[in-house]
A and B are shown apart, each in its own frame.
Chain A
Amino acid sequence: GQNIDQPTEMTATEGAIVQINCTYQTSGFNGLFWYQQHAGEAPTFLSYNVLDGLEEKGRFSSFLSRSKGYSYLLLKELQMKDSASYLCASMDSNYQLIWGAGTKLIIKP
């Protein structure tokens, strides 16, 4: 079956670094996506990995290991506005996104 696992909730301190892990198992693979979703709002696209390795975009980086079915999102220099849910999604062979339940990130001052 198809499955995406990520932690339900994480807490971190303002200014620190946090890593949100995601493991995936899908029928075929066409990339791994990370989205940010603030409470009550629609998800917004953060990153896309289709090859192994680390992609860096400012304070946010995303890593992919296809052999391990594993990805992580790394957030540096955390700010209060980073408090949100972070959704991991794998694109299967039919180009459909299989979504994790999301990780709620709580930032404390």
Chain B
Amino acid sequence: SQTIHQWPATLVQPVGSPLSLECTVEGTSNPNLYWYRQAAGRGLQLLFYSVGIGQISSEVPQNLSASRPQDRQFILSSKKLLLSDSGFYLCAWRETSVDYNEQFFGPGTRLTVL
């Protein structure tokens, strides 16, 4: 069965500090991978998605970046955090080799920028 891991679960960082959030998926090959952000009481905002190693599409221009160094690893980074970067960050994956279309989410990282 497939599982998705995210860490850390919570993070408190000062403004201007760097960020690295990691997501890994087990039990599948060549998944589509996604990074979302959810502000308090709001819907999910797609930040980045990837259809393969080294292939990153950015949906929202901002001070965040993403990388996919391995097939099942997706990393979200920032060089300098802003207050507005606070939120709930969710990684998700989707199977692409079959007709199943649903996305499955990791447990999320709650980021507070002070």
Contacts and interface: CB of A to CB of B under 8 A. Distances in A.
A42 B43 contact: no
B7 interface: no
Interface in B29-56: 32, 41-46, 49
Given A33-B101, A43-B90, A95-B101, 16 more contacts: A31-B101, A40-B110, A42-B105, A42-B107, A43-B105, A44-B105, A45-B103, A45-B104, A48-B101, A87-B44, A91-B101, A97-B44, A97-B46, A97-B103, A101-B42, A101-B43
Contacts of A44: 105
Interface in B91-114: 94, 101-108, 110
Interface residues of A, number: 21
A89 B108 CA distance: 19
| Residue of B32, B45, B101, B106 with highest tally of chain A CB at under 10 A | B101
A99 interface: yes
Contacts of B104: 45
Nearest to B45: A99
Contact of A87 (B43, B49, B102): B43
Contact of A30 (B90, B101, B103): B101
A30 B102 CA distance: 11
Interface in A11-55: 30-31, 33, 40-45, 48
Contact of A99 (B41, B43, B94, B108): B43
Contacts of A102: 43
A33 B32 CA distance: 17
A93 interface: no
| Residue of A33, A42, A48, A91 with highest tally of chain B CB at under 10 A | A42
